């Protein structure tokens, strides 16, 4: 019988076409699976906690694999030696055979950040939006309405591909710190393009391009018929936390 292991990792998504292995680009999955095969000698398909878009980052990301090959000594150290600098393995944890990195997730938390002053140290994790002038209090007001169970179909890139577009948004926060605006969204699930569409529409409220009532109408009706609909750039988006019903080791 094969043993099940969780792999806890992080990555900077700038160079990758998202997490998933794919034909027309390089996904993080491909790089990690190749490292596991090289170091662990365990050919395996990683089953991830979810997918990320091209250019999106993850501070905490989990996937699982099944193998009957015992992990070699200093596995994490050796994997990190083999992996490029923009992917890090935190730990490899032996789990119960039924533990599932995707289906057992309770909540995910995403953060989106923009900055006004151009800064080379921020360029990969924050979206440069020069000289933005927007009403943050208006954005914060409508963002509060996102909490709870709602039909987020109006903030989904491909709603027809989901069996349901209902999500339970546990928490939404909006912070303004010096030249930065930071959004945080915690929910039981996220739809395709959801966070980037939400942030873009919130900015439209802040700019006065759509009204607060327009935003709430998108949320209430589950579709978006207003102009300027697009996703904000991916580099400001990071998956910052994954919560499971069981405790997993977290790096200091």
- Catalytic residue ranges: 53
Taking the CA atoms of residue 121, residue 91, residue 182 and residue 213 in that order, the dihedral angle to the nearest 10 degrees is: 140
Task: Please enumerate in sequence order all residues whose Cβ is within 8 A of that of 244, keeping only pairs 6 or more positions apart, or say none.
Answer: 62, 104, 105, 106
Q: How far apart are CA 68 and CA 70, in angstroms?
A: 6
* HSE-CB for 113 with a 13 A CA cutoff: 17
Instruction: Give the integer Cα–Cα distance in Å for 199 and 242.
Output: 20
Distance CA(83)–CA(93), nearest Å, equals 19
């Amino acid at each position: 019988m094969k043993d099940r292991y969780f792999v806890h990792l992080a990555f900077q998504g700038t160079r990758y076409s998202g997490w998933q292995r794919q034909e027309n680009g390089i996904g993080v999955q491909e790089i990690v699976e190749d490292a596991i095969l090289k170091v662990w000698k365990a050919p395996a398909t990683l089953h991830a906690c979810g997918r990320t878009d091209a250019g999106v980052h993850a501070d905490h990301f989990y996937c699982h694999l099944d193998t009957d090959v015992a992990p070699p000594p200093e596995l994490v150290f050796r994997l990190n030696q083999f992996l490029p600098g923009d992917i890090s393995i935190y730990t490899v944890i032996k789990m119960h055979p039924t533990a599932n990195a995707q289906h057992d997730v309770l909540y995910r938390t995403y953060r989106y950040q923009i900055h006004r002053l151009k800064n080379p140290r921020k360029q990969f994790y924050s979206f440069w939006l020069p000289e933005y002038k927007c009403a943050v209090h208006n954005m914060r007001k409508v963002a509060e309405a996102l909490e709870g169970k709602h039909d987020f179909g109006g903030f989904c890139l491909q709603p027809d591909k989901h069996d349901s577009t209902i999500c339970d948004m546990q928490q939404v926060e909006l912070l303004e710190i010096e030249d930065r605006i930071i959004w945080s969204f915690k929910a039981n699930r996220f739809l395709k393009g959801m966070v980037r569409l939400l942030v873009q529409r919130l900015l439209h409220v802040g700019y006065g391009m759509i009204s607060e009532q327009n935003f709430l109408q998108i949320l209430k009706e589950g579709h978006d018929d207003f102009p300027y609909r697009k996703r904000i750039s991916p580099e400001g988006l990071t998956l910052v936390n994954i919560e499971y019903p069981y405790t997993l080791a977290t790096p200091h």
